[in-house]
Chains A and B, each alone.
Chain A
């Protein structure tokens, strides 16, 4: 099956042809997809070698001369390794860029923890002014990539994963989408976890919101959903559990509420294997999610739904 990342090089190659502001900056990883684009635009497809601090610093320099840099490598090497460059060379310099990661939390479990980055969104979340897109389907990834590159000089993080929902939704790069409506709680499903969340909440009387843009957090969307469904909120995120708990709590700060943050656990598993095995180990399969969501929203949700 085609992955989100399969779209990255073709989409950006097209944008390089169409927009003279666009530049792609790579550190070896992902360069094969840009072979033709590099031949056509040798000055705007830049491979700095295995140098991730330079990768982000050079992107900032490109931005300061007026270009729109798009920076790509695995999340571990894009966000975690050069984090101070992300903080200072982009944030503090007031320079924009689009950071596009791959490998996500555990896209390559056989590769081990060195290639896992469940904390990337939480790290970006310590910084000001970033937009964070977490698409759940290759079509959504394409749409959000285009939005990200077109977003003037904004700082945007796009998180691509091999995990995906069966079908794409219409996403606007800002708001949560209401997928199901209920009266006994709100479940926010982020990106590739939507299908699993829908399966997990089948027969439960809960509202399901679908989030592919998590920063800025759609405060108004969450509040609106709680008006009918109450203020029991479950966040199901494909990265570190609890990453958006503070944002949800802030959205509901003036009303009594409860928030449960589900996602990837902090504990290092020290396991290889498959994506499915890691999903299960972190309790993110439909069966585990159902148990945790149902026990949190309580009997009201099940009684109301007649289950």
Chain B
């Protein structure tokens, strides 16, 4: 499925490399950017209930990009879905551009959080899930994307350990695992979440059907994590 954006032009998955190609200057974060591409596309194309028109709707789904380095795939998907104009992309990282090498929610339409410093998104997502629950909004889903190395940050472990026992059913985490952590987590990433009471699924992060099935798997009473494995960063 594609949607209409920018004067009737429609963009699909096949357009994303071209959109990413409009952004230059952050090549060192290329692997980080492309590792998230399929996860982002499947979420925005098929899972998240948010559109440019609904970006201030209190009942929208939230997507928090915590892994804020290498945001080219994120910007490409936001552009493809009409949140930001495609003609913003070539200015990527320049003084007058709203699109930095780390995103700023105040500048980027549709960005729920500013990120770049690792380990902030999941705690904020926990608070967002708590805040929606406290206001009786049990339907909106909160999604946060983190990287496998980002998972090293202790703040994430505070959030993981809290969210399971707190039963934050509307909280969802995607860990894009490109084997970039220097010290791999003993027992695997999913086990860390499962031990804290989360529902966990590990899938091929390039397989759109597998990702969709994992994203939409029921997880009553528990937060849900999808570990999306992609080729190693160094490959």
Q: Would you give the shortest CB distance from A116 to chain B, in whole angstroms?
A: 23
Instruction: Enumerate the 4 nearest inter-chain pairs by beta-carbon distance, A residue then B residue, closest first.
Output: A61-B127, A57-B123, A65-B131, A58-B127
A175 to chain B, nearest CB (A): 31
Across the interface, do B124 and A93 meet the contact criterion of CB distance under 8 Å? Answer: yes
A40 part of interface (Cβ distance < 8 Å): no
Whether the Cβ atoms of A60 and B130 lie closer than 8 Å is no
Interface size bracket, B side: 20 to 34
- Contacts A85-B155, A88-B114, A93-B113 given; indicate if A58 touches B124 (C-beta within 8 A): yes
Are B113 and A67 neighbours in the complex by a CB distance under 8 Å?
no
Report B-chain residues with C-beta under 8 Å of the C-beta of A57. 120, 122-124, 126-127, 155, 159
The distance in angstroms between the C-alpha atoms of A46 and B162, with both chains bound, is 11
Number of residues on chain A facing chain B (CB within 8 A): 30
Q: Does B158 sit at the interface, judged by CB under 8 A? A: yes
Q: Give the distance to chain A from B61, nearest Cβ to Cβ, in Å.
A: 12
Among residues 103 to 147 in chain B, which have CB atoms less than 8 Å away from a CB atom of chain A?
A: 104-106, 112-114, 117, 119-120, 122-135, 137
Specify which chain A residues have a CB less than 8 angstroms from the CB of B134 in the assembled complex. Answer: 23, 43-44, 62, 67
Let me know if A93 and B127 touch, CB within 8 A.
Answer: no
A-to-B contact residues, CB < 8 Å: 20, 23, 43-44, 46, 48-49, 51, 53-54, 56-67, 69, 84-85, 88-89, 92-94
- CB-based nearest A residue for B155: A53
Q: Is the CB of A64 within 8 A of B127?
A: yes
Q: Is the CB of B130 within 8 A of A89?
A: no
A140 to nearest B CB, angstroms?
A: 30
Contact A64–B162 (Cβ < 8 Å): no
| In the bound complex, CA of A252 to CA of B161 (Å) | 51
Q: How far is A53 from B120 in the complex, measured between Cα atoms in Å? A: 9
CB-CB nearest in chain A for B136: A43
